């Protein structure tokens, strides 16, 4: 399964594409999608939509894992990121990619085994699980890879298999 992890934003959106074949995980590609600060906000959203649409065409994911927003101290930035996240979800939906959403705590739990792990712990464990020489940069890309890993590990869990089997019986 090809999983596209996305760390949403409107200025910088991280992405990470992994291949998950049961316990075997392989990093295929990662990076960021950016929009110029000097563009009007609606134009930045349009550019983000177009770039995510192209990203999906190029990477051909079987699923997308998108981080749910965590509201920090800056509400103004959070609102802009919310708009960006909506545009990303729209691009994925229009492309027919199944979307799975995870909170930051779920990502930390799936990758590190502790929902309150520090960012550096998540980045280091991501590096180890994917046999990378160094942590991915920028941070947005590293976060996106961790989100993709979260989905891969969630899909191989016993609970996921039980839910899948229950769905088949209905």
What are 3-55's pLDDT values in tens digits? 999 999 999 999 999 999 988 999 999 999 999 999 999 999 999 999 999 99
62 is catalytic: no
101 is catalytic: no
| C-alpha R_g of the chain | 16
pTM comes to: 0.88
pLDDT at res. 156: 65
**CA-to-CA separations, 93 to 89, 109, 169, in angstroms, rounded:** 6, 27, 27
pLDDT at res. 165: 54
pLDDT at res. 40: 97
What are 56-110's pLDDT values in tens digits? 999 999 999 999 986 555 566 678 889 999 999 999 999 999 999 999 999 999 9
Class of CATH domain 2-169: alpha beta
| Domains of the chain by residue range | 2-169
pLDDT at res. 79: 85
Cis peptide leading into 138, omega within 30 of 0? yes
pLDDT at res. 123: 92
List the catalytic residue out of 21, 51, 140, 143: 140
Given a cut of 80, whether residue 157 has pLDDT beyond it is no
67 is catalytic: yes
The pairing of beta strand 24-34 with beta strand 12-21? antiparallel
pLDDT at res. 155: 80
What are 97-150's pLDDT values in tens digits? 999 999 999 999 999 988 888 889 999 999 999 999 999 999 999 999 999 999
Nearest-angstrom CA–CA distance, 28 and 150: 16
Residue in this structure with the two tokens 């545009």, named with its chain if needed? 87
């Amino acid at each position: 399964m090809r999983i596209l992890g996305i760390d949403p934003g409107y200025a910088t959106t991280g992405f990470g594409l992994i291949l998950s074949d049961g316990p075997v995980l392989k990093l295929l590609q990662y990076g960021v999608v950016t929009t110029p600060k000097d563009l009007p906000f609606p134009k930045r959203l349009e550019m983000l939509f177009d770039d995510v649409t192209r990203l999906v065409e190029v990477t051909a994911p079987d699923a997308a894992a998108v981080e749910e927003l965590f509201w920090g101290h800056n509400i103004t930035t959070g609102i802009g990121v919310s708009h960006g996240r909506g545009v990303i979800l729209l691009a994925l939906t229009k492309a027919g990619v199944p979307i799975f959403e995870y909170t930051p705590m779920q990502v930390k739990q799936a990758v590190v085994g502790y929902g309150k792990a520090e960012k550096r712990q998540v980045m280091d464990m991501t590096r180890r699980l994917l046999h990378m020489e160094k942590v991915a940069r920028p941070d947005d890309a590293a976060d996106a890879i961790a989100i993709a890993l979260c989905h891969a590990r969630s899909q191989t869990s016993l609970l996921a298999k039980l839910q899948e089997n229950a769905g088949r019986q209905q």
